[in-house]
Chains A and B, each alone.
Chain A
Amino acid sequence: MFLAPRGGLGGPYLREAEDSAPVFQYVGKQAKRKERVFVWGFCHAGALGIPSFVKPDAGWKKSRRIQPTPYRLDTVEKISSAACGYGFTLISSKTTDITKLWGMGLNKDSQLGFQRSRKDQTKSYEYVLEPSPIPLPLDTPQQTRILQVSCGRAHSLILTDIEGVFSMGNNSYGQCGRKVIKGEIYSESHVINRLQEFEGRVVQVVCGQDHSLFRTEKGEVYSCGWGADGQTGLGHYDITSVPTKLGGDVAGVNIVQVASYGDSCLALSDEGDLFGWGNSEYMQLASITETTQVNVPRHLPFKIGRIKDVACGGTGNAIVNEEGNVFVWGYGILGKGPNLMETATPEMIPPTLFGLSDFSPDTRVSRIRCGLSQFAALNNRGELFVWGKNIRGCLGIGRMEDQYFPWRVTIPGEVVDVAF
């Protein structure tokens, strides 16, 4: 048996030709990575920000009802914060330029501010099909930066670094933090309210369905809006139109994160303790009380390790602890197969479903987010896993069926944040 000669003939000849070939440089040593925004889900309201989905650019093309997989959205600036409401989206950038906030989608309650129509200067657009700048009444528009945006059912909250919180949209329950005016028409409204009634600087804003939560630097929580499920946590079931400080078990506790999406709320303290209030019809707080509405924050004594991130969805809640394990409880598709549809105590989702394996033993979940009946988890390798009810393709997995356990979403790039 003999060895056949390797490669082609003419060794030194070939090497000379190779050495003299030009060397191409595609990217330099200091090349930075680009940040991008991807959108997916229901298109007809224009919330995705791509006009051709709703109004196709050629006559023979059909409009797209659902975008089932992530689609890139071109933005002018680097986007730092994004939030999804019901049929509308807000994206913001940390720039000091005058235009730092864009909105797209439904605008029937002026949740995107006043979008002046080109046909008639006095009217505002009801549907905004591409990211349009939202003018904010800032005192120093070239110095203020927007830190975070949040969207509820029909209202929006914008958090700035030096000028406090701005709110706009529907105020029928006082969720914008101003007095409820009977018979007010919210569409085509110019009203953007600035909220000043806080002791200290606000560092996080969260919108529930029809209520708002504010967290200050000192670790205090304020709320306003609808309270029929006790989601304002102020000890009563009425509406509140002025942001009021919460008491109960969170009084005196340094809260580091609040979360809400529907009608129930969760708060996390700096020592890793969990507090909940609001709706408990889906067993979110059933471990401590039998009542279905809790209007005062109560401590949830779960033994699930030191909690790092919380997320509160419409019917289910999820947390991530220090070790990167995800715990879920509540009602609905929780992520442990079709057999687990409701639980009052947190259940852990096995970390192998989030990319942990023999070949990559230090993969951990770093962030968790909730939608109405969906969950999203980000791991430290930048992979996005989603599960839950796949309403109109909102999971972005390419299929229309519900997903009963965490499924990886194919996104070109490393995911840094997700909004439902």
Chain B
Amino acid sequence: MAVRKAAWSGLNGLFTVYKPSGVASLRVRDSVETLLLKELNSLKQPDMPQQVRFLPTTVEGNAGKELTLTVTQLPVLAAHPLVRGPNFTHLKIGVGHRLDTKSSGVLVLGVGHGNKLLTDLYDAHLTRTYTVRGLFGKATDDFSDTGKLIEKTTFDHVTRDKLERILAVIQGTNHKALLMYSKIDLKTQEAYELAVEGLIRPMEKTPPLITAIRCLQFAPPEFQLEIQCLHETQKYLRKVVHEIGLELKSTAVCTQVRRIRDGFFTLDSALLRTHWNLRNIRKSIQDSRIKVQVELQRNLGHQAKSGERHTNMDQVTESELHRTEGISASNISPYAD
């Protein structure tokens, strides 16, 4: 009983899962739920309640067979699992930012009371990082390599230098859009200070915005980009790859989209398919509980207090991810990691 209660109470919070490609994220959610339920139901059941019954039996008496009552202890069948059904039939598991079927990567799931935190996570408007692999030479209708072929082009004129130039242009235009959608009055001193630290970010629904983009690998026809974005969909990222191909006077399709960071959840904490069991999930919830609380409080509390767009969120994750990189937008981090 104590084990079950502990197990049940530990299942309230947020945890991350590594979603493989080729599977819809809702199916992932369903299978996690099924696995958890199976484990919860297989936990040691308490002893079944017994009842004392006086059953009529025949006893050899003086004048032949006589009817007497004998005391027997029988289990209460009403409490039997085969009668009542399994104890746990439903778990409230919600999905954070969705990933479409072809992409893979970090997927945030909330269980129990954690579902309320999912809404808060959405309102915090944190950025997400993806690694995107592309292939030059083809253009398809859905911008990925499995779509219907539209056109093939040459790509031997494409160099890393040209690609980086295009990426710089994309980053510049998106940075400008970021400032414009933030709806902050640009004539004030605080707008200047926020722009210096790179902390201006829109805090409401906007079209997809790319906050940073860079090339990790370039080996024509293949290339790999790292994209940090806001309010995006995976189809938009594939479209970005397609447009990069067009800008380079060639064509490109996207072969892989992989989310490596969602807000402050990174790949290290994501659970693989083989680790989807009760113990690991509870541990993951426990580990991330404090961090989630602190970060959400900082993001939303600040927002509610002054109605300003100000957060140190990206600063923390960026300084954690790119610790070896030279200059950071702001070197002050409250977590002296």
| Interface-facing stretch out of A22-30, A133-141, A145-153, A299-307 | A22-30
Q: Are A27 and B157 in contact (CB under 8 A)?
A: yes
B75 proximal to A (CB < 8 A) = no
Q: Mark B168-181, 1 if CB is under 8 A from A, else 0.
A: 10011101100000
Q: Are A337 and B322 in contact (CB under 8 A)?
A: no
CB distance from A173 to the nearest CB of B (A): 38
Q: Which residues in window 379-404 of A have CB below 8 A to B? A: 381-383, 401-404
**Chain A hits for B188, CB < 8 A:** 337-338
14 cross-chain CB contacts under 8 A: A3-B20, A22-B152, A24-B153, A25-B153, A29-B157, A337-B192, A337-B193, A338-B189, A358-B212, A359-B228, A360-B168, A361-B327, A404-B191, A410-B172
B325 proximal to A (CB < 8 A) = yes
Contact A405:B195 (CB < 8 A) given known A337-B189, A383-B168: yes
A18 proximal to B (CB < 8 A) = yes
CB distance from B2 to the nearest CB of A (A): 32
CB distance from A4 to the nearest CB of B (A): 6
Residue of chain B at shortest CB distance from A402:
B187
Residue of chain B at shortest CB distance from A17:
B149
| Interface-facing stretch out of A92-100, A124-132, A348-356 | A348-356
Q: How far is the CA of A403 from the CA of B180 in the complex (A)?
A: 13
B337 proximal to A (CB < 8 A) = no
Residue of chain A at shortest CB distance from B20:
A3
Taking A26-B153, A338-B187, A359-B213 as known contacts, 13 extra A-B pairs with beta carbons closer than 8 A to each other, sorted by chain A number, are A3-B23, A18-B138, A21-B151, A23-B137, A23-B152, A23-B153, A23-B154, A29-B157, A357-B329, A358-B329, A381-B168, A401-B186, A408-B172
* Number of CB contacts from chain A to chain B under 8 A: 121
Interface size on A, residues (CB 8 A): 44
Residue of chain A at shortest CB distance from B228:
A359
* Most A Cβ at <10 Å: residue of B157, B168, B212: B168
Q: Are B213 and A383 in contact (CB under 8 A)?
A: no
**Chain B hits for A361, CB < 8 A:** 325-327
**Chain A hits for B80, CB < 8 A:** none
**Chain A hits for B328, CB < 8 A:** 358
Q: Mark B81-122, 1 if CB is under 8 A from A, else 0.
A: 000000000000000000001100000000000000000000
**Chain B hits for A403, CB < 8 A:** 186
The 8 closest A-B pairs by CB, nearest first: A337-B192, A7-B146, A359-B212, A27-B249, A337-B189, A3-B22, A361-B326, A25-B154
Q: Are A28 and B157 in contact (CB under 8 A)?
A: yes
Q: Which residues in window 272-319 of B have CB below 8 A to A? A: 318
* Most B Cβ at <10 Å: residue of A23, A336, A410: A23
Q: Which residues in window 306-363 of A have CB below 8 A to B? A: 336-339, 350, 352-353, 355-361
Q: How far is the CA of A408 from the CA of B173 in the complex (A)?
A: 8
**Chain A hits for B186, CB < 8 A:** 401, 403-405
Partner of B192 from A17, A28, A336, A401 at Cβ < 8 Å: A336
Residue of chain B at shortest CB distance from A413:
B169
Interface extent on B, as a size class?
A: 35 or more
CB distance from B68 to the nearest CB of A (A): 59
Partner of A352 from B20, B28, B198, B213 at Cβ < 8 Å: B198
Q: Are B192 and A24 in contact (CB under 8 A)?
A: no
Q: Mark B134-156, 1 if CB is under 8 A from A, else 0.
A: 00011000000011110111101
Q: How far is the CA of A8 from the CA of B148 in the complex (A)?
A: 9
**Chain A hits for B147, CB < 8 A:** 7
B196 proximal to A (CB < 8 A) = yes
Q: How far is the CA of A317 from the CA of B318 in the complex (A)?
A: 35
Q: Are B172 and A383 in contact (CB under 8 A)?
A: yes
Q: How far is the CA of A18 from the CA of B172 in the complex (A)?
A: 36
B197 proximal to A (CB < 8 A) = yes
* Most B Cβ at <10 Å: residue of A17, A405, A414: A405
Partner of A410 from B173, B322, B325 at Cβ < 8 Å: B173
Partner of A24 from B152, B213, B326 at Cβ < 8 Å: B152
Q: How far is the CA of A381 from the CA of B170 in the complex (A)?
A: 12
Residue of chain A at shortest CB distance from B322:
A358
CB distance from A410 to the nearest CB of B (A): 6
Q: Which residues in window 10-41 of A have CB below 8 A to B? A: 17-18, 21-29, 31
